Amino acid sequence: MTRRLLLCRVRVSPDQSQFFRGERLNLRCVDSTWKVWKMGAGIWRCCGDKWGAQSGPHCVLKILETKDSGQYRCQSKDNETSETSSITVTDKAVILQMTTLPVTSGQKVDLICRHHFDPGTTARFYRNTVALSGGSAGTLTLQRVALSDTGQYQCEMGGVRSESAHLQVLAVPSTPAAPPSSAPPPVTPKPSPASLPWFVIPVVIPVVGVVLLIVLVMLVVVLVRRCRCRCRCKKTKGSKAKRRKGRTPRPQNQKTTEYSKPHKKKKRTAPN
């Protein structure tokens, strides 16, 4: 039987294999084209044929009777069938509530022991008639089931032991190896630089703003001082030019004039 057919088992709601008489039960198949069938008196009968009532994809049993105990399965139109699931309807005062579906190795499974009249009674659990430790409060949890946990389970309350319920554990499906490819190896991305923690950002932003403001003020002060220095230099040069213009220039090659005494004219004497 293939793994697909194992997982196509009847879905039971609530998910347990044992019920008290008078309770309600819903059955369905994962594929809505499949129908729920029951083994009765050596004959497989579809839901609605002398048992149950079809309501959409569900097969409903409103009031369970002990005659509803038996084997159930899903079947397609092509007569392909799933693995059977066992359901027990009992008159006993104690039942064991456990999933009806197979579980995969490593999963968690809860076993619940339920007393019809006295729910506070201390419980004991058994696997293949061997007592298990724990679960005195009425619930035993198998944290990580293994293939060795497959078997028949029972519980006991107030001296009454429940019917057996079967737990099936499947191996984890192996992952097929990927075929070799000629594609280049993937490029490992470079790690991005670590970002600042969120609580540092509200502190850093005001500090950066203050520093920028101080730098801006210093630049303004430097520019103002330069402008003042330039203005002073221009004023100084202008005043010096005005002073030079107000002075009378002294000729460099000017010579002093000497006044000589007038020469007396000599009288000419007539020749004798």
Exposed / middle / buried, residue 78 (Cβ in 10 Å: 0-12, 13-18, 19+): exposed
Does this chain's domain 1-91 share its CATH topology with 92-171?
Answer: yes
**How distant, in Å, are the alpha carbons of 26, 65, 87 from that of 72?**
12, 15, 8
Write the DSSP assignment of 180-213 as a string of letters. Answer: P--SPPPPPPPPPPPPPPTTTHHHHHHHHHHHHH
pLDDT in tens, the chain (272 residues): 455 555 578 999 999 999 999 999 999 999 889 999 999 888 999 999 999 999 999 999 999 999 999 999 999 999 999 999 999 999 999 999 999 999 999 999 999 999 998 887 889 999 999 999 988 889 999 999 999 999 999 999 989 999 999 999 999 887 766 666 666 667 766 655 555 566 666 777 888 888 888 988 888 888 888 888 777 776 666 666 666 665 555 555 544 444 455 555 555 555 54
DSSP-assigned letter for residue 139: E
Domain 1-91 top-level CATH class: mainly beta
* Tens-place pLDDT, residues 131-180: 999 888 899 999 999 999 999 999 999 899 999 999 999 998 877 666 66
Distances in whole angstroms, Cα of residue 181 to Cα of each of 33, 56, 184, 185, 246: 41, 48, 8, 10, 100
Class of 92-171 per CATH?
mainly beta
The domain locations on the chain are 1-91, 92-171
Write out the two tokens for 41: 């008196």
